[in-house]
């Protein structure tokens, strides 16, 4: 292993690292690329997420971040089709849309409606009669419901598919954690793992919530922390709901294909705490069942915890290091890294290969002198 030198070493095997390796290889087949990291890390965000592709429900102003997320949603159908051409792992993906019931959304419902109108976001207001026709299993207490043209993906299938696809393209995977670096003041030479050193010309830090720890080893201070989310999945037949539903402090995401519905989620600032609390899960189910009553009796399949990688300003950190000549970042995708996956892969590929026309200042590592 010591004698091999890779053109690009990506550190992190979540959707961010894998999609980046996939895109780099699609654009430049000749590049020798390695991905490092445990793809089944039990707290990683990519397998913990609900898979909502929700740029509209998650944003309330049309800033650069909103634009980036919207572009990413637009790229999704092509991205999924492209993946399917390389990997035979089926990925559930739907553009059926999301629902926001006025009675359960909280104070922001009218503002969201206004925002959707201003930004020409595809949306409709459904009367209770229309709700009964289009989503008959929703509670009659939902009132008027806002439908918005968003998407849904099964993120575990997406992660599996990316993993297979980039291997099929020739990316080398080391399922090992990085414990150190061989470097000098201005550049990195190798990433150190307990199976040996991986030499590279360029390195990308894409290690989600663990990026801060790797930053420390590199002597840079990433202002990042994990934001814990507890979630669960219940068994419900596919036909009961084809939309994703956003309520106040709750959401319901259909994974279909017999995989039930995901119910989320908490937002907890508790470090790397892996615990799953029964009372918390029950309260998630109760809140979701107020919107979709059949969830109350649905068998619980599993519950889990995952960590969202959050930068201090809640913006992603994507771009070239100002400290090391051959280090790049793609981390801090926080609450919507699954949504950002296709655009992130294009954007960071463009920066690494120096083909991107314009970088987004708000995402730049330079804002933290990284
Ligand atoms: C509960 C929850 C619900 C969410 N729901 C949604 C949603 O509905 N829609 C959406 O768009 N987003 C959602 N997100 C956010 C999304 O999941 C994340 O933004 C995204 O998955 C981040 O991906 P990542 O690859 O950066 O990080 P991760 O998936 O956390 O992966 C990090 C990788 O780095 C590796 N690593 C760690 N340390 C090292 C090391 N020392 N050396 C090498 N590798 C290392 C890990 O093993 C892992 O492979 C949710 C997140 C959570 C937690």
CATH of the domain at 173: 3.50.50.60
Pairing outcome for strands 98-101 and 244-247: parallel
Q: Is residue 308 in contact with ligand 1, taking CB distance under 6 Å?
A: yes
> Are residues 163 and 306 both part of a single domain?
no
Both 273 and 325 in one domain: the answer is no
For residue 3, the model assigns a pLDDT of 56
Torsion region of 59: left, alpha or beta (phi above 0 gives left; psi -120 to 50 gives alpha): beta
Determine the pLDDT at residue 215.
98
Question: Roughly how many angstroms between the first and final C-alpha of the chain, as a whole number?
Answer: 29
* Total number of domains constituting the chain: 2
Counting from 1 in the atom list of ligand 1, the atom nearest the Cα of 305 is 1
- Interacting residues of 184 by C-beta distance below 8 A, sequence separation 6+: none
pLDDT of residue 2: 46
Are the C-beta atoms of residues 339 and 53 closer than 8 Å to each other? yes
Task: Name the residue range of residue 126's domain.
Answer: 94-151+225-310
Concatenating the DSSP letter of every residue in 90-154 gives: ---EE---EEEEHHHH-TTHHHHHHHHHHTT--EEEE-HHHHHHHSTTS-GGG-SEEEE--EEE-
The answer to whether position 133 is within a domain reads yes
What is the C-alpha to C-alpha distance for residues 326 and 5, in angstroms, rounded to an integer? 14
- Give me the pLDDT at residue 195, please: 86
Ligand 1 pocket: which of 40, 46, 228, 262 to mutate (most atoms <8 Å of CB)? 46
Q: Do the domain assignments include residue 85? A: no
Burial of residue 119 (CB within 10 Å: 0-12, 13-18, 19+) is middle
Q: Residue 1: what pLDDT?
A: 52
Domain identity same for 123 and 205: no
* Measured distance CA(61)–CA(84) in Å, rounded: 34
Domain boundary among 310, 329, 354: 310
Atom number of ligand 1 nearest to Cα 231: 1
Same domain, 201 and 305: no
Token pair for 7:
């053109």
* 27 & 130 share domain: no
For residues 283 and 335, state if they share a domain: no
Q: Do 109 and 143 fall into the same domain?
A: yes
Residue 19 near ligand 1, beta carbon < 6 Å = no
* Best residue for ligand 1 mutational test, from 22, 42, 48, 337 (most atoms within 8 Å of Cβ): 337
32, 42: one domain: yes
Ligand 1 binding pocket includes 17 (Cβ within 6 Å): yes
pLDDT in tens, the chain (370 residues): 545 899 999 999 999 999 999 999 999 999 999 999 999 999 999 999 999 999 998 777 899 999 999 999 999 999 999 999 999 999 999 999 999 999 999 888 999 999 999 999 999 999 999 999 999 999 999 999 999 999 999 999 999 999 999 999 999 999 999 999 999 999 999 999 988 999 999 999 999 999 999 999 999 999 999 999 999 999 999 889 999 999 988 999 999 999 999 999 999 999 999 999 999 999 999 999 999 999 999 999 999 999 999 999 999 999 999 999 999 999 999 999 999 999 999 999 999 999 999 999 999 999 999 9
Distances from the Cα of 314 to the Cα of 26, 226, 265, 334, 350, angstroms = 30, 11, 18, 7, 22
**Ligand 1 center to 227 CA (angstroms):** 11
Question: How far, in Å, from the CA of 157 to the mean position of ligand 1?
Answer: 14
Structure tokens at 161: 């598919």
| Strands annotated E in 312-352 | 317-320, 327-331
In sequence order, which residues have a C-beta less than 8 Å from that of residue 334 and are 6 or more positions away?
227, 308, 309, 310, 311, 314, 316
Position 100 in a domain = yes
CB contact at 8 A, 310 and 336: no
Residue 260, SS3 per DSSP? coil
Residue 89 lies in a domain: no
Task: Kindly report whether the global pTM for this prediction surpasses the value 0.95.
Answer: yes
């Amino acid at each position: 292993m010591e004698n091999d030198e890779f053109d690009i070493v990506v550190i992190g095997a979540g959707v961010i690292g894998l999609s980046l390796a996939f895109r780099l290889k699609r654009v430049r087949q000749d590049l020798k690329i390695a991905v490092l990291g445990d793809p089944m890390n039990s707290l990683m965000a990519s397998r913990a997420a609900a898979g909502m592709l929700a740029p509209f429900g998650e944003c309330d102003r049309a800033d650069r971040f909103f634009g980036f997320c919207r572009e990413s949603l637009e790229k999704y159908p092509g991205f999924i089709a492209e993946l399917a051409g390389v990997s035979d792992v089926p990925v559930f993906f739907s553009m059926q849309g999301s629902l926001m019931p006025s009675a359960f959304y909280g104070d922001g419902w009218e503002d969201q409606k206004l925002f959707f109108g201003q930004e020409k976001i595809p949306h409709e207001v459904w009367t209770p009669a229309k709700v009964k026709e289009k989503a008959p299993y929703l509670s009659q207490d939902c009132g008027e419901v806002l439908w918005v043209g968003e998407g849904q993906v099964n993120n575990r299938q997406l992660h599996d598919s990316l993993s297979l696809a980039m291997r099929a393209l020739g990316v080398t995977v080391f399922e090992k954690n990085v414990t150190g670096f061989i470097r000098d003041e201005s550049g990195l030479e190798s990433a150190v793992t307990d199976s040996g050193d991986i030499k590279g010309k360029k390195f990308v830090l894409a290690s989600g919530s663990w990026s801060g720890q790797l930053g420390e080893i590199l002597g840079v201070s990433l202002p990042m922390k994990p934001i814990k989310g507890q979630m669960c999945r219940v068994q419900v037949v596919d036909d009961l709901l084809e939309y994703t539903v956003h309520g106040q402090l709750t959401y319901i995401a259909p994974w279909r294909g017999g995989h039930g519905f995901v119910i989320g989620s908490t937002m907890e600032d508790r470090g790397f705490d892996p615990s799953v609390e029964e009372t918390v899960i029950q309260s998630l189910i109760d809140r979701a069942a107020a919107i979709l009553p059949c969830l109350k009796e649905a068998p619980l399949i599993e519950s889990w915890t995952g960590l969202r990688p959050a930068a201090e300003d809640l913006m992603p950190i994507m771009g070239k290091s100002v400290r090391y000549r051959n280090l790049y970042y793609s981390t801090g995708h926080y609450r919507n890294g699954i949504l950002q996956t296709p655009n992130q892969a294009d954007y960071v590929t463009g920066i690494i290969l120096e083909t991107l026309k314009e970088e987004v200042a708000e995402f730049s590592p330079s804002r933290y002198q990284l």
